[in-house]
Amino acid sequence: DAGVTQSPTHLIKTRGQQVTLRCSPKSGHDTVSWYQQALGQGPQFIFQYYEEEERQRGNFPDRFSGHQFPNYSSELNVNALLLGDSALYLCASSMGQGNYEQYFGPGTRLTVT
Amino acid sequence: DQQVKQNSPSLSVQEGRISILNCDYTNSMFDYFLWYKKYPAEGPTFLISISSIKDKNEDGRFTVFLNKSAKHLSLHIVPSQPGDSAVYFCAASAREDFNKFYFGSGTKLNVKP
C-alpha cells in the first residue's frame, strides 16, 4: 500500500517564476492538505482540499493556489516566486474532513534563487 | 503569531532514561493535540494524540499529558531508545477550525546509546 507520494523531490526556481508541486494521497484517502515548512520551523498550514474544493485556508497570499483532481491527487501552485518561498512543502492526506489522523509525504524541497 | 511553541530546540537523553518534550499553546480554543515524529528526508509521522476532555493518554512507551489551565502539554518517552532520535513536533487544532493544524517549531531528540 503506497503512502503519500510527492513530486518532484527537489526543485530550483528563479524569483518571479511559477511552480507546480504534485501530491498523490494514501490509498483510500480523499482529503489533501498542504503545508510549508521553512528551515528551523514547524509546518504551516496552507490549505486543504476535499471533494475538489478548497475547504480551509491558512494565512498565505493568493499567489498560493491549488487543485484537487477526481482521483483525489492534488497540485500546489505558487506564482511570482519570492526568495522567502524557499521551503519544504509537505502534503498530508486523510480520510474525510475532520479526521485528525493525517499521513504526510516526504515533501518537495523548493529553492528560489 | 506563534500559537504553538516548543521552546527547547534540542534534547539529549541517555538510552533507557525518560525523555520529556514540552509544548505550550496560547489559543484557548484548541481542543485536540497531536505529536508527530520526523526523521530526516521523511514526512512527519503521527505518534500520539489527546483530546481536551482528557489529561493523559498512553500508548506503549509514549504518554502525552495535557494541562489545560497552563496551556501546556508534554510527551514522555519511557524508556528512551536510540531509534527514538528524531525531531518531534506538537500540533494543535480547534473544533470549529478542525482542518487547520498549528505546529510548533520542533524539538530534536538525541538518545545516546
Tens-of-pLDDT digits for all 113 residues of chain A? 679 999 999 999 999 999 999 999 999 999 999 999 999 899 999 999 999 999 889 999 999 999 999 999 999 999 999 999 999 999 999 987 777 788 999 999 999 99
Is B98's pLDDT higher than 90? Answer: no
Output the pLDDT for position B100.
84
CB contact under 8 A, A40 and B99: no
Average pLDDT over residues B37-63: 94
Output the pLDDT for position A1.
64
User: What backbone torsions phi and psi does residue B9 show, to the nearest 5 degrees?
Assistant: -65, -25
How many Cα atoms are found within 13 Å in the side-chain-facing hemisphere of B83? 2
Residue showing cell 508534554: B74
Q: Is the dihedral of CA A64, B40, B110, B57 positive or negative?
A: positive
Output the pLDDT for position B105.
95
Q: Does B39 touch chain A (CB under 8 A)?
A: no
Contact predicate A32/A90, CB 8 Å: no
Closest by alpha carbon to B23, among B34, B38, B37?
A: B34
Band the pLDDT of B95: cuts 50, 70, 90. Answer: confident
B100: closest CA of chain A, how far (Å):
6
Output the pLDDT for position B1.
65
CB contact under 8 A, B44 and A97: no
Output the pLDDT for position A101.
81
CB crowding B11-27: b at 16 or more within 10 Å, else e: bebeeeeebbbbbbbee
Average pLDDT over residues B22-36: 95
With an 8 Å Cβ cutoff, the interface of chain A facing chain B consists of: 4, 33, 35, 40-45, 48, 55-56, 58, 90, 92, 97-98, 100-107
Average pLDDT over residues B24-30: 94
Output the pLDDT for position B66.
97
Distances in Å between the Cα of B85 and the Cα atoms of A84, B10, B12, B14, B77 are 29, 11, 9, 11, 11
Q: Is the dihedral of CA A72, B49, B101, B91 positive or negative?
A: negative
B98: closest CA of chain A, how far (Å):
6
Question: Across chain A, which distance is largest between two alpha carbons, in Å?
Answer: 38
